[in-house]
Amino acid sequence: MHEFEKFEYEFSKIYKRLLRLELLIKNKIVNCVLSVYKNNAINTFQKFFNNPCIYKKYGSDSGKNTFLELRDNKTLIDSIKFEQIINILTLRHLLHFIFTEESFRNPEITKNFYVKEGINFKELKKAKPVLINLRNYVAHFNFKEYNENKNEYLYSLLLYEICLGCSLGKFDYIPNDLGEKPCMTKIIEKIYELAPELFKKDIPHSTFPYNKDRMIVDMYEDIAVLNGYEYSELKSQ
């Protein structure tokens, strides 16, 4: 088996989750910021939009710079500029915006941006570079770096998914306390503890983001890997 084949399923699963998280972050930034600052969003966050270390990253070899073309377009109102620029940002710059812009800490924004109360921002900031590295390793199929600290990367992803309401399962916390490679029964019991509604026949699949059985499988894989398993060790769906 080639190395890429060993990680193909694992990376495809994580990549989809990362993209879903990025899209959610973009959507939440746009909605939360514009609801508070409206057409003054660009001016409110001018330090970010005038930062050459950021906007230079969106230039091309031909000299075209998508970021600056949007920012300096006089035919667009500022709220549209803001939305369109946020939608082209990489995960690195989205997280930079969230954690460095003081005006983003407005209580009216944060209460709608995060879904959990009592967010541990110190832990979230600590996980920021880890999450960015995970995004880069998966995008470039860097198996070696990913595999060396797999649990730390998966922990960071799930932490952000939980805090922003992006968890595909029903996690309220990181369930990595079941011991090394717990048995299947123990993992299923943990899923039932977290989301008993997934096991009830009278609750339709349409109540959930997607098929209940698929959600159970996804939660099972997440919990198993966080507690010591390799994806390749898991039984078939």
Tens of pLDDT, residues 50-76: 999 999 999 988 889 999 999 999 999
- φ/ψ of 11, rounded to 5, equals -70, -35
| Distance between CA atoms of residues 226 and 198, nearest Å | 21
> Using one digit for the tens of pLDDT, what is the confidence trace for 172-192?
888 989 999 999 999 999 999
pTM: 0.85
Q: Which long-range contacts (CB under 8 A, 24 or more apart) does 120-129 make?
A: 123/159, 124/159, 124/160, 124/163, 125/99, 127/155, 127/156, 127/159, 127/160, 128/95, 128/99
The pLDDT confidence band at residue 1, using thresholds 50, 70 and 90, is very low
> Using one digit for the tens of pLDDT, what is the confidence trace for 190-207?
999 998 999 998 888 888
For 58, residues 6+ apart whose C-beta sits below 8 A from its C-beta are 65, 66, 67, 68, 88
> Using one digit for the tens of pLDDT, what is the confidence trace for 117-163?
788 999 999 999 999 999 999 999 898 899 899 889 999 999 999 99
| Residue closest to 154 by CA, chosen among 4, 25, 22, 18 | 18
Span 39-50, average pLDDT: 96
Domain range annotation of the chain = 3-120
- Take residue 168 and report the two structure tokens written for it: 């595909």
Longest dimension (CA), the chain: 61
